[in-house]
A and B are shown apart, each in its own frame.
Chain A
């Protein structure tokens, strides 16, 4: 159960991308490292164009911490695989784990 101090962590995913499991693993690891409950992730499937539009879903996977996207940038809304950048600057289907840990830490500090 979330305490009042724990951030709301959401993972929005679409089944056209095989990146959900890896992102979930990285996200759980980042939460654990930040002293947060790794099970306290709200997984939400985005399954239609209409839902993607309604959710302003910029592709799978998308993480939101207290409703905010820790990886803002130029994105298009829709059912697609989201493009992230690795620490080396290469295109990647998942967020860089170090950047993800930093984003969680920022949110906890806030």
Chain B
């Protein structure tokens, strides 16, 4: 275990609230800090969407969270998030962390920065989705392994990797 996850409730692009502890009580949760304007987040996006779709039937919820300062980076505004969700096929809600409190509580540093939280609100994995943002064949393997291990109730093969991506854009 890396740490205990701080509970949060955040709205998605439709204004519907999602609470981490409620989802964790149903199984594991993948918490993915991402955004609209970062090439690393975009490069990994399809793989993360695929993971969310593949693991939902296995009791895993996936929360995509945008914590970036939208004043300095308008591409990450709530309106831009809504437009993106409307234009694409998302397999998990895209949450708006306007105050950035959730990113700070998790210690998120980059987009993407991936966390896996188990049913007891323990952070079991933190890091990158896989070893290569530029290789779709890498298939978000590290995240998949982490979810498989949590679902199997075994020790994680790889509990922590180095997150790689754009820095989270903190408000001044």
Q: Which positions in A face B, CB cutoff 8 Å?
A: 16-19, 49, 76, 78, 80-84, 86, 90-93
Complex Cα–Cα for A92 and B166 (A)? 12
Assess whether B133 is interfacial by the CB under 8 Å rule.
yes
Q: Which of B37, B39, B40, B43 has the most CB of A within 10 A?
A: B39
Given contacts A81-B38, A83-B37, A93-B133, 12 further A-B contacts (CB under 8 A): A16-B167, A17-B166, A18-B164, A49-B72, A78-B72, A80-B38, A80-B73, A82-B39, A91-B39, A91-B42, A92-B43, A93-B43
19 contacts between A and B (CB under 8 A): A17-B166, A17-B167, A18-B164, A18-B165, A78-B73, A80-B37, A80-B38, A81-B38, A81-B40, A82-B39, A84-B39, A90-B134, A90-B136, A91-B39, A92-B39, A92-B43, A92-B134, A93-B40, A93-B166
Q: Which positions in B face A, CB cutoff 8 Å?
A: 37-40, 42-43, 72-73, 75, 133-134, 136, 164-167
Complex Cα–Cα for A80 and B134 (A)? 19
Residue of B43, B72, B75, B164 near A91 (CB, 8 A) is B43
**Chain A positions within 8 Å of B37 at CB level:** 80-81, 83
Please classify the interface of chain A as helix (H, G, I), strand (E, B), loop, or mixed, using the class held by over half of its residues. loop
A14 to chain B: closest residue by CB? B167
How far does the Cβ of B83 sit from chain A's closest Cβ, in whole Å?
A: 16
Does B39 lie within 8 Å of A83, measured CB to CB? yes
Complex Cα–Cα for A91 and B166 (A)? 13
The 4 residue pairs across chains A and B that have the minimum distance between CB atoms: A91-B42, A93-B39, A16-B167, A83-B39
Complex Cα–Cα for A90 and B23 (A)? 32
Complex Cα–Cα for A80 and B167 (A)? 9
**Chain A positions within 8 Å of B73 at CB level:** 78, 80
Complex Cα–Cα for A19 and B133 (A)? 11
B68 to chain A: closest residue by CB? A80
**Chain B positions within 8 Å of A78 at CB level:** 72-73
How far does the Cβ of A107 sit from chain B's closest Cβ, in whole Å?
A: 24
Complex Cα–Cα for A90 and B138 (A)? 15
How far does the Cβ of B71 sit from chain A's closest Cβ, in whole Å?
A: 12
Complex Cα–Cα for A18 and B136 (A)? 19
Residue of A16, A82, A90 near B43 (CB, 8 A) is A90
Complex Cα–Cα for A83 and B72 (A)? 17
